[in-house]
Amino acid sequence: MRRNRVLLISFTVLLGVVCLCAKDFWDEPFEKWNRNQVSRIINDSPWAQSQTLSYALGGKDAGIQGEKEIFHKLTVRFFSARPIREAYVRMFQIVNNYDQMSPEQRQEFAARFGRGLNLDVSDRVIIAVEFATNDPQTNRNLKQFLDTAQAESLKQDVYLITRRLGRVQLREYFPPSPDGTGAKFIFPRQVNNVAVIQPEDDEARFEFYVPAVEHKFLVNFKVKRLFCHGELSY
């Protein structure tokens, strides 16, 4: 009986050690990520969070296509975080059969798609935003809004927020890009020589009031999860 208890205790300790030593897949080289892992990084990871506004429609055949519910989904990504940029590059690799390429073809591919990996983010935080909705009219309104918006007109509606610094004001804005990575909201990486996000912060929040849907989206990120390869990445 005592021997069984010793074995049970040993197994429990060993299991705890294994759990502590286990790494998230994003700590592995991104060239090893599979399609599902890439999708997770881009859509549901410490660096990619979303919020959905939905409401029911009345009537037997409600909605243009008979929808019973209208939704507006905002997905927010720390594009300046290396794991997000690596995920996009890996996605392009998978789509273009990079793993089967010759060394010469891989070199050419890297020259075409690798620029994003070396993006200089030393003085800026880049937030990429993507909208999805099943309401065609709202979709048109959102597209027009994002295509024509200017940084100055957005500054009262868009913020990066931490409890320590409060609201950090928008610095630049770029409309949605043809590569499908979304609209880009640029914030300073430092305010008064202090990093806007630090390891001791509990969370960072992206706040965005969208006139096209008359709703303020608040998307939270847990700072303690924004680590990759042992470093805070945002």
Cβ(52)–Cβ(60) under 8 Å?
Answer: no
Cβ(150)–Cβ(217) under 8 Å?
Answer: no
- Note the pTM of the prediction, 2 decimals: 0.84
pLDDT of residue 125: 98
Which ranges of the chain does DSSP label H, i.e. alpha helix?
2-21, 35-43, 82-95, 103-113, 136-148, 151-154
Calpha distance 27→228 (Å, rounded): 6
Which tokens in the block code for residue 34?
């599979």
Percent helix, strand and coil across the chain, each to the nearest 5: 40, 30, 30
Cα torsion 63, 66, 71, 72: sign: negative
From first to last of its 234 residues, what are the pLDDT tens digits of the chain?
Answer: 555 554 444 444 434 443 334 578 999 999 999 999 999 999 999 999 999 999 887 655 455 555 678 999 999 999 999 999 999 999 999 999 999 999 999 999 888 887 888 899 999 999 999 999 999 999 999 999 999 999 999 999 999 999 889 999 999 999 998 888 999 999 999 999 999 999 999 999 999 999 989 999 999 999 999 999 999 999
Q: What are phi and psi of 191, to 5 degrees?
A: -125, 120
- What are the sequence ranges of the domains in the chain? 22-232
pLDDT of residue 115: 81
Calpha distance 209→197 (Å, rounded): 22
